[in-house]
Structure 1
Amino acid sequence: MYQEKAFNYKWGYILLFLFFLLFIYGDLVPAALITEFMPSLLDMNTIFLSIVLEAIPFVLLGVFISALIQSFVKEETLERFIPSNPVLALFPAVAIGAVFPVCECAIVPIVRRLIQKGMPLHVGIVIMVSAPVLNPIVFLSTFYAFQTDLTVAWARMGLAFVVAIVVGAVVYARFKNSWQLKEAKGSRLHSDEHHHRNKIAETFYHASDEFFEMGKFLIIGALLASVIQTFMDRELLVGVGSGFFTGPAVMMGLAYFLSLCSEADAFVASSFNGLFSSSSILGFLVYGPMTDLKNTILMAAYFKKRFVVAFVAIVTITAYFITILFDLLYL
């Protein structure tokens, strides 16, 4: 903990020093350079603020639900509702994910807390990938955005269900029930229970602690996403994305780097209608809520790096091949 605080202070001092240099020597920056890049910087700033402001309410919702789970949900309760058979446990996990009206920002701390409470790793991962896309709010937003082609909304739900089940099965086959969180198993839970007897106070303590812990990762992810959105060559994107195999890959890559909230991404996807195939748009709609740049950085705060890399690879490969297969069979 001390080393982490020292690291944060160090970067704070570096940023303060850079701000001081800009304040002193800012007049030496060529005016032509400022004029050329200022519109792009303003666009980047607008996108950055919109991502942060859009994500913060959901992050707050996620950390508060996570804190309630920590304070009021017992390990025995989870064991009662989760089948001991790892394959059968996948289907209740999807059902749990479908009733959580939270986006990919909020689901990370919730799943982390559930795993701490004893939920199997692969069950938590199924909830993580299904909740942001299978919940009723996302279905209604997709239904409204694609009123001219309602099959997109139904196909999105069906493909997301299949991808979530396959991802959970692959995660179980690869990692079993191994501990993939950064912190030692059970260490934080026991120490917190000794120091916080009042359940309400404990809930707010956990929520505030987790919000500020996640905040720096949210800002870093939003900054990277805003840079990519501002300087991405859209004409090249459309040119490469017109192929049968390259189209879904390009749209999935776009979904990853744009890091849109799952409640709003359908309206962005509908703007590509006519430019990309239906399978490409479905790849965008299924893959984006399951993992994106912002979500990956948030996961890196809690999970081991090797697991985060493996998780992104598993979701990417699964979503891509299932989208291509759906295109071959039904579209």
Structure 2
Amino acid sequence: MTKDTFFQLNSIFISILIEAMPFVLLGVFISGIIQIFITEQMVSKFIPKNRILAVVYGTLIGAIFPACECGIIPIVRRLILKGVPLHMGIAFMLTGPVINPIVLFSTYVAFGNKWDIMLYRGGLAIIVSIIVGLILSYQYDSNQLLEKKSLNVHSHDHTGDQHFPKKLLGAMQHAVEEFFSVGKYLIIGAFIAASMQTFIKTSTLLAIGQNELSSSAVMMGLAFILSLCSEADAFIASSFTSTFSTGSIIAFLVYGPMLDIKNTLMLLDAFKKKFVFFLILYITVFVLFGSLLI
């Protein structure tokens, strides 16, 4: 490895960490708050009994949560442990990094204050989330979470037997514990993404995307490899507008926040491998199909 290559690898690796770290910290902090201050009874009050309404509700909640794809996984895991149905939690996880106001506004600005790309991005994300959530609601009855002794040591109810300062301290302890659990996968994922960006030439991928199907597939693969934070990916996507079709640009903007190297490792740490496989399959198929329709 040459000195220039090492410098490039190091720069990309650090930039990915700097982008993602604030949102991971926000995510584990919210997770700790949920663990200490939110009871199962509170959660059950706002969950629709109808599975379709639950999926739609979970999908639309993403509009008010400014979380990126890796920061949202600890939140979803904690919500599911508190009783949120798997299909509702996953629907929220898929749209949270895409349809929140910060991401939509950055998309609007990145594409020259035009509404079409922003609306296509948000619309396809909502449709994919609802379809995937509904499929999962029929496919799985259990929460599909991996057992984690280290995260469940303090999992008994803290909401009624402590004063606020002690509760807040407990939330911080949970946040720290969660951070060290997901942080190592963020670092590993960032390094893999940086390595692939360094050693795989973008021109090689661009040469493959010569038709609608292959161009969407290439842009989805590029989104997975680049592992960009959803708040910044629109500015990268806009640089491809002269090379790729609108559909493939949308595929990049929707697929990346739903699946990339970082959050795939985090998903494998939180959920059962077979479930993660089907989740990846469904997201890939429906984002690809939706981009071709666009």
Please give the range of the TM-score, normalised by the shorter of the 2 chains. over 0.9
Larger RCO, structure (CA 8 Å, separation 6 or more)? 2
Counterpart in the other structure of 2:249: 281
Instruction: Choose from 266, 269, 284 the match for 1:301.
Output: 269
Aligned to 1:283, the other structure's residue is in SS state: helix
2:62 pairs with 1:97:
yes
Deviation at 1:231, TM superposition (A): 1.2
Distance 1:307 1:223 in 2: 25
Counterpart in the other structure of 1:162: 127
Counterpart in the other structure of 1:319: 287
Counterpart in the other structure of 1:262: 230
Instruction: Choose from 33, 44, 55 the match for 2:20.
Output: 55
One-letter amino acid of the counterpart of residue 164, structure 1: S
Counterpart in the other structure of 1:4: none
Aligned to 1:110, the other structure's residue is in SS state: helix
Runs of 4+ in structure 1 over 3 Å off = 189-194
Distance 2:87 2:215 in 1: 30
Contact 2:35 2:155 in 1 (8 A): no
One-letter amino acid of the counterpart of residue 315, structure 1: I
One-letter amino acid of the counterpart of residue 39, structure 2: K
Provide closer, same or farther for how the CA distance between residues 46 and 190 of structure 1 changes in structure 2, counting only shifts above 3 A: closer
Provide closer, same or farther for how the CA distance between residues 68 and 145 of structure 1 changes in structure 2, counting only shifts above 3 A: same
Aligned to 1:301, the other structure's residue is in SS state: helix
Deviation at 1:150, TM superposition (A): 3.1
One-letter amino acid of the counterpart of residue 186, structure 2: L
Deviation at 1:179, TM superposition (A): 2.7
Distance 1:299 1:184 in 2: 13
Provide closer, same or farther for how the CA distance between residues 191 and 57 of structure 1 changes in structure 2, counting only shifts above 3 A: closer
Gaps of 5+ in 1: 1-33
Instruction: Choose from 89, 92, 97 the match for 1:132.
Output: 97
Task: Choose 235-244 or 102-111, whichever is displaced more.
Answer: 235-244
Deviation at 1:262, TM superposition (A): 0.2
TM-score, structure 1 normalization: 0.83
Counterpart in the other structure of 1:152: 117
Distance 1:158 1:191 in 2: 37
Task: Give 1 or 2 for the bigger CA radius of gyration.
Answer: 1
Deviation at 1:173, TM superposition (A): 2.3
Deviation at 1:191, TM superposition (A): 4.7
Deviation at 1:193, TM superposition (A): 3.9
2:196 pairs with 1:222:
no
Aligned to 1:89, the other structure's residue is in SS state: helix
Deviation at 1:164, TM superposition (A): 0.9
Distance 2:173 2:87 in 1: 28
Deviation at 1:126, TM superposition (A): 0.3
Mapping 1:22-41, distance limit 5 Å: 37-41=2-6
Provide closer, same or farther for how the CA distance between residues 168 and 189 of structure 1 changes in structure 2, counting only shifts above 3 A: farther
Identity rate, percent: 49
1:251-282 deviations in whole A, cap 9, x for unaligned?
00110111000000000000111100110000
Distance 2:202 2:221 in 1: 13
Residue-pair matches, total = 288
Aligned to 2:52, the other structure's residue is in SS state: coil
1:75-96 deviations in whole A, cap 9, x for unaligned?
1122111111111111111121
Distance 2:26 2:38 in 1: 17
2:67 pairs with 1:86:
no
TM-score, structure 2 normalization: 0.93
One-letter amino acid of the counterpart of residue 65, structure 2: F
Distance 2:4 2:170 in 1: 46
Instruction: Choose from 181, 205, 229 the match for 1:237.
Output: 205
